[in-house]
Copies of this chain bind each other. A is one copy, B any other.
């Protein structure tokens, strides 16, 4: 059980506040996360790690000399937003660029990917790497689909040490890639974790059983079996990883992390390590500076994972390199050149986005802005009505938060749209402001997709002329293109794309056939809603493990449903 909290909704903020107080002098808070209290030294590449909360000491616990320059801190098990990631990266960047890196989860990939786009637009050199160490989450032919679990530790550590050595951003990125290519993890779960304030665990493992390959947020495992002895478990983990040894990695030296996921005691980990160490030695591997302890946790989940990184000379040097962070210390960092101390206020100034250079719109475009705001009002009201229904649909194969996310996102978009209109922005500026707020505040993957799409639509609409029906068609396409690039899904994968594709196709066809915009939009919205309902019969979403996703056959996709609702809501406004 997770038992200690005040308002469960502010759990991760409250934990972060306590963490910053307990480790004052080592780290300072910035909007979106934490950075080192002594600034990254001028000219050193910054490494920014991150992801949702609930995994302490991942990720804020490893910020400090020799390790990360900053950590982006999301809500429990929820990706931080793109603007949070960009904020921490700005504060960490010391002029030599930033490598952002997270475990490979859809929300993190989208938000950090979007942050990299923002950062580049602002003149920061930025890269992104998603760690893919979990061999249980996809086969060797689909390595890029693997999740990141405790392999974060070896990858983040090597990238950070390479940066301390003075490598440039290309070099640091290559170090991270090499570490990731040579890192493999396999985990097991004995019991589920409980979200703060919840009465029931997020998932259950039957008492006396073990689930092999279960993910750190309860993603289903590959098999359930009786709880083995420590020695038998050691054998399963070691054999499972040795089968996956990377090609060409035959140096015989490995870094190892035996990681406890939350409620497994250190003494139990040591009992397990005793046999793991023997088996690795019998397999001819020499273990270099093993870590046995809690490094990437999952709230109060019972479980362990074993990570191996097959070393070469560089990786071994980076793995052994000193570090001094709140939760991970090794060797002496006295020789590491560090930057000057800075206050939280200084760090926050560095984290701030560049000043808003948006100019006001043309009179024609500004005259459209109130219509955009009315649209935002109508959509927010519709989502408030639909919150429960969307949550119910999403709960069949997801975590049931889609309705809540749409309400938060459309509410934030409305506030931002009103504010942008009051500052004299044109239609495009109002749409971009709404998109940015939606991406920042909705949480989850649909929020960042809606936000990025709306921002792209706003950019295409612009702030000068009143857009023609053809311009609207092009703007919808621009939004769709962003979705495809960030989301990584295809039409037919049972996602919101399945509703957007017929929407944009119909819209273009009808506009090109000479319909007026309200009529074309009406037809396109109908097509979207029909397609949304039809997702009920589609195959399960990509990236979801089968047993969970198969429950969703016969249920429409929540994202496709909400898309249909949104565009239907707008139809009425276009007629007025």
Contacts and interface: CB of A to CB of B under 8 A. Distances in A.
Given A22-B290, A329-B329, A334-B332, A5 B265 contact: no
A4 B264 contact: yes
A300 B294 CA distance: 14
Interface stretch (A244-252, A270-278, A339-347, A463-471): A270-278
A17 interface: yes
Contacts of A166: none
B269 A18 contact: yes
B271 A11 contact: yes
A132 interface: no
Interface stretch (A223-231, A401-409, A446-454, A521-529): A223-231
Interface in A1-32: 1-6, 11-12, 14-19, 21-22
Interface string A274-297: 110100000000000011101001
Nearest to A190: B3
Contacts of A191: 1
A306 B53 CA distance: 24
Given A21-B273, A22-B290, A277-B21, A4 B300 contact: no
- Which of A3, A269, A272, A304 has the most CB atoms of chain B within a 10 A radius of its CB? A3
A297 B229 CA distance: 23
A187 interface: no
A460 to B, nearest CB: 42
A262 interface: yes
Contacts of A57: 266
A249 to B, nearest CB: 23
B297 A265 contact: yes
A319 B191 CA distance: 38
B267 A56 contact: yes
A227 to B, nearest CB: 6
Chain A interface residue number, banded: 35 or more
- Which of A56, A263, A268, A291 has the most CB atoms of chain B within a 10 A radius of its CB? A268
Given A21-B277, A329-B329, A332-B334, A265 B262 contact: yes
A50 interface: no
B263 A4 contact: no
A361 interface: no
A302 interface: yes
A303 to B, nearest CB: 10
A233 interface: yes
B265 A16 contact: no
Given A5-B230, A18-B270, A274-B21, A299 B190 contact: no
A6 B230 contact: yes
A54 interface: yes
Given A265-B297, A266-B56, A329-B329, A271 B4 contact: yes
A263 B266 contact: no
- Which of A4, A57, A233, A268 has the most CB atoms of chain B within a 10 A radius of its CB? A4
Nearest to A7: B229
Contacts of A292: 18-19, 22
Contact of A229 (B5, B56, B268, B334): B5
A271 B329 contact: no
Contact of A334 (B264, B266, B267, B334): B334
Contacts of A14: 230, 270-271, 274
Contacts of A3: 190, 227, 264, 268, 302
Given A1-B191, A274-B18, A274-B21, A6 B268 contact: no
A551 to B, nearest CB: 29
Interface in A496-520: none
Nearest to A17: B274
A268 B4 contact: yes
A207 to B, nearest CB: 8
Given A263-B262, A290-B22, A329-B329, A5 B300 contact: no
A265 B227 contact: no
A227 B277 CA distance: 42
B5 A271 contact: yes
Contacts of A334: 332, 334
A319 B4 CA distance: 28
A327 B294 CA distance: 11
Given A4-B230, A5-B268, A19-B270, 14 more contacts: A1-B190, A2-B268, A3-B264, A6-B271, A14-B274, A15-B274, A16-B270, A18-B269, A18-B272, A18-B273, A21-B277, A21-B290, A56-B270, A266-B297
A-B pairs with lowest CB-CB distance, top 5: A18-B270, A18-B274, A4-B268, A18-B273, A15-B267
22 contacts: A3-B264, A4-B268, A4-B269, A5-B268, A6-B229, A15-B267, A15-B271, A17-B270, A18-B269, A18-B270, A21-B277, A22-B258, A22-B277, A22-B290, A22-B291, A54-B265, A54-B267, A56-B267, A56-B270, A266-B294, A266-B297, A332-B334
